[in-house]
Amino acid sequence: MPSAPESITPAALLVEDASRRDRTKARVYVLAQLLGWGAFFTLNLFFTLTFPQPEDTRSRVTVVAALAMVSALGLLITHYSRRLFQRRGWKNLGWRALGSRLLATAAVQSLLWSGIGYGYTLALNRIFHSAWPYKTGPGVYFLISWVQGATLLCGWLCLYFFYQLADRFSRSEIERFRLATHVKDAELRALKSQVNPHFIFNALNSLRALIDEDPARAREAVTQLANLLRYSLQSGQLETVPFEDELRIVNDYLALEQVRHEERLRVRLDIDPATLTRPIPPLLLQTLVENAVKYGISNRPEGGEIAIVARLEGEALRLQVTNPGELSAAPKRSAGSTGVGLRNAAERLRLLFGERATLQVRAASPVQVVAEAVLPLEPSRS
């Protein structure tokens, strides 16, 4: 098997790009909060001091302090509401599902905002034995404030979630573009490595020997080689293929390799029938099996057994390809090994399934290596 860490992670460049986007998003949020609530405080202060109500006998210091408290309270309520949105997954909802939630959230936020604000004012009046400064009672002012606050906070929520939806759409487009790029790159790498000239040369040599010895087997081998070449050309157009299609091509590939390796290559399949219709990236299993043949069979005079296991476990498809060998032998391999192919396969898994998918290479025993891919049953939609 190729040299690889215990768990293959996405490329450092993509991680850095995602981290940079998150930092930018956090800075935009903080700046928008400060500017928005700063503008709210400034406008209210301007109108209150410029057009004071006749019955308002409060000092300017008291007015400024009250407006500062109300503005800071609004900032805190909106800021900590984000934890509710994240915990309940509201950022992943569409506008239809969000509509009623936003209205209810704005009403509750405004109730809390107005309740604390007027409670603070009434508490100060009691402490300083001051009368209510307006002719209209506190209840009417509270109701008006609640409606106005709900309108303001509903606008804040709409802006917040509009930004989240726009950001999600932007990320989705970027990921879709990356996926398309990787699919095309994978197609080219498949033609260069997995169906490489050496493999074709070996297969043709085996076919030449079979033509005289076993013409029927030679015709079958020609069909298997044609199937493999056709699949490699066509699969680059697809994001996923049914596992059954991939397994069929892998069987053709192993049959061709058995013509060359004969009894040195033994194959064991342990496939759960429920896995056959599940989607996987094209050439994923082919990559794992080719590495197993190249590094577990070709370099060993006695050959060995390659085992392919597929199981459904909970909400995931688990694929395992086991071959004889040692991970410690990896440094002896050439720089042209398909370790790059495995890293590329791991990145394609990330683009299709997000961080829910993993690809690992590990030692199952001192003389056995296993490559394991775990895929969610459905590709990521975000």
Which residues are CB-neighbours of 150 under 8 A, at least 6 positions away?
A: 106, 107, 109, 110
314 lies in some domain: yes
Both tokens of 318, joined, read 């688990």
pLDDT in tens, the chain (382 residues): 443 444 444 444 455 566 777 788 788 888 888 898 888 889 888 887 776 655 555 566 666 777 888 888 888 888 888 888 878 888 777 777 788 888 888 888 888 888 887 776 666 556 555 555 556 666 777 788 888 888 888 888 888 888 877 777 777 777 777 777 776 666 545 544 445 566 777 778 888 878 888 888 889 989 988 888 888 777 767 778 999 999 999 999 899 888 888 889 999 999 999 999 999 988 889 889 988 988 888 888 888 999 999 999 988 999 999 999 887 644 344 434 446 667 777 877 877 787 888 999 998 888 899 999 999 877 655 4
DSSP state of 88: T
66 in any annotated domain: no
Confirm whether 30 is domain-assigned. Answer: no
pTM confidence score: 0.51
72: in domain: no
Residue 303 domain-assigned? yes
Distance, in Å, from the CA atom of 379 to the CA atom of 373, rounded to the nearest integer, reads 14
User: Are the C-beta atoms of 58 and 31 separated by less than 8 Å?
Assistant: no
Q: How many separate domains does the chain show? A: 1
CA–CA gap between residue 263 and residue 113 (Å, rounded) = 78
Phi-psi group of 354: left, alpha or beta (phi > 0 → left; psi -120 to 50 → alpha; rest → beta): left
Token pair belonging to 171: 């990320």
**Residue 291, domain member (yes or no):** yes
What CATH number should be reported for the domain holding residue 228? 3.30.565.10
> What is the number of H-type helices and E-type strands within the chain?
9, 7
- How far is the C-alpha of 134 from the C-alpha of 142, rounded, in Å? 12
**Is 188 within the bounds of a domain?**
no
Domain of residue 203 covers: 195-376
Residue 277: inside a domain: yes
